[in-house]
Structure formats: structure tokens, C-alpha cells
Amino acid sequence: MTSEAHDLRYSSTFPPGVIAEIQRAADQGLYEIRGFGAKRKLPSFDDLLFLGASMSRYPLEGYREKCATNVSIGTRFAKQPIELKIPITFAGMSFGALGTHAKESLGRAATELGTTTTTGDGGMTDEERRASKTLVYQVLPSRYGLNPDDLRRCDAIEVVVGQGAKPGGGGMLLGQKINARVAGMRDLPEGIDQRSACRHPDWTGPDDLEIKIQELREITDWQKPIYIKIGATRVRYDVMLCVKAGADAIVLDGMQGGTAATQDVFIEHVGIPTLPAVRMAVEALLELGMHRKVQLIVSGGIRTGADAAKALALGADAVSIGVAALIALGCNKPVYVEDYHKLGTVPGACHHCHTGRCPVGVTTQIPELEARLHPEQGAKWLRNYVSTMVLELQTIARACGKSHVHNLEPQDMVALTVEAAAMARVPLAGTGWIPGA
Ligand code: SF4
């Protein structure tokens, strides 16, 4: 090594980004709060590949042979399960974190696609209810905006225990996003930072939750499916306890899931990736004899039809998208570039949802910014994007010889890395070896 190269070596332990963060913390004495999701490299569905049909399996002909995509959610106890045309739903995102136009876009698109969208912390807006044929209503630890009338107005209830970006933590909404309407719905003062509780106030474990779920069923006359949403951590036990508590469906959110605002250290260091989480959840359901009886909806970093296909092949019943849906709505699009610069970022690197100054009008309550996203246009983008995902999913399923996307199975896949093989329990490509099996 030349002495010049020697002198310019960066430390692996203290690379420039770490140095900058230590010095930012030294200046400000505060942790960093931000939106979006984990930015570190994590094992993902990219580490899996499908084995298309060849001699030992027979592919389906795309023009003549159907590949169905429908799925029923809530078949365990609900009198009216949700019937989805496609196994892709929109994840819970709050009004407050998102503006009304974004929420309306999601509702319109979900209706056109034959799927569901989901409320979030802060309650249900009339625009969202009107736009969404089938709406999932979240019951969160904060209870902000929780309205018994809305429990009856919704089509399914999702009890949120945790979220992949911050399992064990509550949400945040900084004061700059709390305008009069958001504050009114949450019974909070305008312009003041708001933290959501990290656990429900009226139950401390699955036995209590079982009672709460019974209450919700009675309020809604046993009509509506009840989901439980968990952030991916101790997945095996958590899934088993969700089943015990009486869930019709489980929403499992891996650590690649997004958030409108939380501590960066939380986003990057708490939880487990979606890839191992799906396999652990499916194994737990199989062990209880409840696979396909309690439906599993997987979220956290789902981006393409290939990601959806891999989650389904591992045993999920459906996937849910949040950040990817916002990207389809224009998040991080290279327009209004000067406004990204004002936030100190550039298109492609933005994670500034917490500021309320979203350059593309998705995560803002400022009328001039929100006007940049038109609900009709937003719905069209979402419809195009999700339809593309479904076509990709069907393409893969047909290539594997499946007449329904739920017939995809782990045996259709191999892994590119030893880690992914161990996490997904599929063989390392070119071998029959499943580490740990
Ligand atoms: S573009 Fe908007 S939605 Fe996307 S990360 Fe930035 S602030 Fe958030």
C-alpha cells in the first residue's frame, strides 16, 4: 500500500456517516427522528429465486389458462369475510401522517382493484370511507380518533399490537403536521408534538386481548373479520398467541416496513426482516393446524410481483404495501427538486415525512403542497402499479405451473445465499442443502 493510500483510509468502524451522526448528536443532544423505513442492507426476497417449470413440472399457457388471484380473509369466525380479488392490500397509514388526498387515492384505487385499504392512528376520514368499498379500521394503542360508530362503518377491524419499523414503540406525529382537523380528530392540541402509546391501555397480554376481541365481535355482531397486526420479532410465539386470542387474520410487518416518524435507531436496529418472519409465522400456523384457517398477511418491503410471489410461496395468504404505495403516489419522484433541497435531501434519498413538508404532497397537511397530488391521478398511479404487480405475480405462478397464486410453494424456490437459505428454509441454489434443516 502506498503511503498516500494508507493516509486516506477510512475506518470500517467509524466511516464518514457514523462520524457525522456522532457529531450531529454531540451538537444537538437528541436522537434523529425520521420517516420512511430501514435503509441498511437486509436479507430480502431478492435473495430467493423461482425454479420455473421445465421437464419435471409443466407451465401454464398465459393466453389460455387462468391463474386465479382471489383470497378470502376472515373465514375463521367472521360472518362476512373479506373477499379480495387480488392478494395485495394497502397497509394502515394514518390521516395525519398522510394528507387527505393520499388517503382518498388509496381508497379509490383499492375499490377499483378489488382490494382493501386501511385506516391508521387518528381515525377514519369521511373521504376515505366514501372512496373505499372495503375499509379495514385500525384499533391502536393510542385510541386517537377511535370512534365506536366507525367500528360499525368499517368492513374489518385490525387491532394493532406493533409495527415492523418500530415493534415495541408507539408512533409519533410532530407538531408541524397537527393542523386543526388532525388535532380535532385526535382530541389533541394543534401544533404540539404527539406520541402514541406503545401498548394498549386496557390489556396486558393475550388473555385480556381475547376478551377485547370478544367485545369487538359483539359490538359488530360477529360480522366483521378481526385482524391482529404485529411487528416481526419473536414471531413464532406472537403468531401462536394471536391465534389463541381469537384472530381471524394476522398481519405480520417485517422490519423493512415504513413509518411516518420514529427514531432512526429504532428503524435500523429493532425487529427482524420480513423474509425469516414469514417462514416462522407459517411454521407456527402449521404447528397449530391453523395455516390457511387464520389468514396471514405479510408486509414490510414488498415492492414487486416477485416479492409478492415469494411471500405467497412461503405460505402467506396475501401481502400488504405501504411505502411502495406511497412511491407509486410520487414519493421520492424527481419533481419539485428545489423543495427536496430545502429539506436538505434529494429525490431518491428523502425520508422527511416527519417534517410535514413532503415535496410531492403525499405526507403533508399544507394545502399548497397537498394540491400537488390529485386523488384521481393518485388512484390511477396506484391502480397501474398494483395491476403490474399482479401481472408479474401471475407470470411467475404460471411459469411454475400453478393455476392459483396460492399454489406457489417453498419447493418452487432456491436461495442465493446461505443466510437466505437458512431463513427461508429453501435449498441453496445448485444444492439440496437447507442450512439447519
Ligand atoms: S417524498 Fe414525501 S412521502 Fe416520500 S419520503 Fe419524502 S416526505 Fe416522505
Whether the CB of 73 sits within 6 Å of ligand 1: no
Q: Which atom belonging to ligand 1 lies closest to the Cα atom of 333?
A: 1
Which ranges in 15-163 belong to alpha helices (H)? 16-28, 100-113, 126-131, 148-153
Those residues with Cβ within 8 angstroms of residue 47's Cβ, 6 or more apart along the chain or in another chain? 275, 415, 416, 417, 419, 420, 424
Q: Which of 202, 178, 201 is nearest to 189 (CA)?
A: 178
Give nearest CA residue, ligand 1 atom 2: 358
Q: Round to whole Å and give the CA distance between 110 and 377.
A: 14
pTM of the model: 0.96
Q: Which atom belonging to ligand 1 lies closest to the Cα atom of 347?
A: 1
- For every one of its 437 residues, what pLDDT tens digit does the chain have, with 9 covering 90 and above? 667 777 789 999 999 999 999 999 999 999 999 999 999 999 999 999 999 999 999 999 988 899 999 999 999 999 999 999 999 999 999 999 999 999 999 999 999 999 999 999 989 999 999 999 999 999 999 888 899 999 999 999 999 999 999 999 988 888 888 999 999 988 889 998 888 889 999 888 889 999 999 999 999 999 999 999 999 999 999 999 999 999 999 999 999 999 988 999 999 999 999 999 999 999 999 999 999 999 999 999 999 999 999 999 999 999 999 999 999 999 999 999 999 999 999 999 999 999 999 999 999 999 999 999 999 999 999 999 999 999 999 999 999 999 999 999 999 999 999 999 999 999 999 999 999 88
Within a 10 A sphere around the Cβ of 76, how many other Cβ atoms? 17
- Identify how many contiguous H helices and E strands the chain contains and give both numbers: 16, 16
Evaluate whether 174 touches 357 at the Cβ level (below 8 Å): no
Instruction: Check residue 171 and give its pLDDT.
Output: 80
Q: Which three cell numbers stand for residue 119?
A: 385506516
Candidates 94, 332, 366: which one to mutate for ligand 1, based on the most atoms within 8 Å of Cβ?
332
Q: Which of 175, 170, 177 is nearest to 143 (CA)?
A: 170
Question: Angle 274-287/235-245 helices, nearest 10 degrees?
Answer: 50
Those residues with Cβ within 8 angstroms of residue 256's Cβ, 6 or more apart along the chain or in another chain? 37, 38, 42, 44, 164, 273, 274, 300, 301
Residues 135/283/36/43 CA torsion (nearest 10 deg): -150
Q: Round to whole Å and give the CA distance between 74 and 283.
A: 20
Candidates 103, 339, 350: which one to mutate for ligand 1, based on the most atoms within 8 Å of Cβ?
350
Whether the CB of 93 sits within 6 Å of ligand 1: no
Backbone angles phi, psi at 311, to 5 degrees: -65, -45
Distance 186 CA to ligand 1 centre (A): 23
N-term to C-term CA, the chain: 44
Candidates 93, 103, 106, 331: which one to mutate for ligand 1, based on the most atoms within 8 Å of Cβ?
331
Q: Which of 234, 193, 196, 18 is nearest to 94 (CA)?
A: 196
> Quick one: which H or E segment has residue 195?
strand 194-195
Those residues with Cβ within 8 angstroms of residue 270's Cβ, 6 or more apart along the chain or in another chain? 166, 167, 168, 169, 233, 255
Distance 21 CA to ligand 1 centre (A): 21
> Quick one: which H or E segment has residue 251?
strand 249-253
Distance 360 CA to ligand 1 centre (A): 7
Q: Which three cell numbers stand for residue 195?
A: 406520541
Whether the CB of 170 sits within 6 Å of ligand 1: no
Instruction: Check residue 42 and give its pLDDT.
Output: 95
Whether the CB of 331 sits within 6 Å of ligand 1: yes
Whether the CB of 326 sits within 6 Å of ligand 1: yes
Candidates 39, 98, 351, 372: which one to mutate for ligand 1, based on the most atoms within 8 Å of Cβ?
351
Distance 130 CA to ligand 1 centre (A): 25
Whether the CB of 353 sits within 6 Å of ligand 1: yes
Instruction: Check residue 138 and give its pLDDT.
Output: 96
Give nearest CA residue, ligand 1 atom 8: 353
Instruction: Check residue 345 and give its pLDDT.
Output: 97
DSSP string, 260-321: EEEEHHHHHHSS--HHHHHHHHHHHHHHTT-BTTBEEEEESS--SHHHHHHHHHTT-SEEEE
Instruction: Check residue 8 and give its pLDDT.
Output: 86
Those residues with Cβ within 8 angstroms of residue 10's Cβ, 6 or more apart along the chain or in another chain? 16
179 forms beta bridges with none
Instruction: Check residue 2 and give its pLDDT.
Output: 65
Bridge pairing between strands 194-195 and 172-173: antiparallel
